[in-house]
């Protein structure tokens, strides 16, 4: 049963990845880039992990939220600068340099959305 769900998560991951790339490359709307993109990125991470991990991990969205919040807190303390890596553009962009409490709320929303999608998907596949 979970194999079917993993395939669905793999497809959703690819679709979300394409959406994230499109947002990064072409979208200038502040709401979409700043908030919706953060919701999608945690959803994308959850879908990726759910697709590649062979067993269902029920608290997966909680783990992804904790990871995301830790990364955001590292941005608050500007860990990239503390480690002397600010000249490495890839690291600065990938890790981020600007803290926002709203990002944490968006990460939580993405994880909650994944949790709900996972519940619904499980019920659909069981029936």
Q: Across residues 51-55, what is the average pLDDT?
A: 92
User: Which pLDDT score, from 0 to 100, does residue 1 have?
Assistant: 67
3-51, pLDDT tens digit by residue? Answer: 888 999 999 999 999 999 999 899 999 999 989 999 999 999 999 999 9
With a CB cutoff of 8 Å and minimum separation 6, the contacts of 39 are 106, 107, 109, 110, 113
Neighbouring CB atoms inside 10 A of 89's CB total 9
The token pair at 82 is 């503390």
Q: Where do the H-state alpha helices sit in the chain?
A: 2-26, 30-31, 37-52, 60-76, 79-82, 89-95, 101-126
Q: Compare 29 and 127 and report the one with higher pLDDT.
A: 29
The region, left, alpha or beta by phi > 0 then psi within -120 to 50, assigned to residue 96 is: left
User: Rounded CA gap, 127 and 123, in Å?
Assistant: 6
Domain boundaries, the chain: 2-126
83-118, pLDDT tens digit by residue? Answer: 998 888 888 877 787 899 999 999 999 999 999 999
Query: How many Å from the N-terminal Cα to the C-terminal Cα in the chain?
Result: 11
65-85, pLDDT tens digit by residue? Answer: 999 999 999 999 999 999 998
Helix (H) or strand (E) holding 56: none
């Amino acid at each position: 049963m979970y194999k079917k769900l993993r395939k669905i998560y793999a497809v959703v991951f690819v679709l979300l990845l394409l959406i994230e790339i499109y947002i990064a490359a072409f979208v200038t709307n502040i709401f979409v880039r700043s908030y919706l993109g953060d919701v999608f990125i945690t959803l994308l991470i959850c879908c990726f992990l759910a697709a590649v991990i062979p067993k269902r991990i029920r608290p997966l969205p909680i783990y992804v939220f904790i990871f995301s919040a830790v990364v955001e807190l590292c941005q608050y303390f500007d860990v990239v600068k503390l480690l002397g890596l600010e000249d490495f553009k890839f690291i600065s962009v990938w890790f981020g340099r600007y803290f926002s409490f709203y990002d944490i709320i968006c990460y939580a929303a993405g994880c909650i959305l994944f949790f709900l999608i996972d519940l619904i998907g499980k019920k659909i596949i069981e029936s």
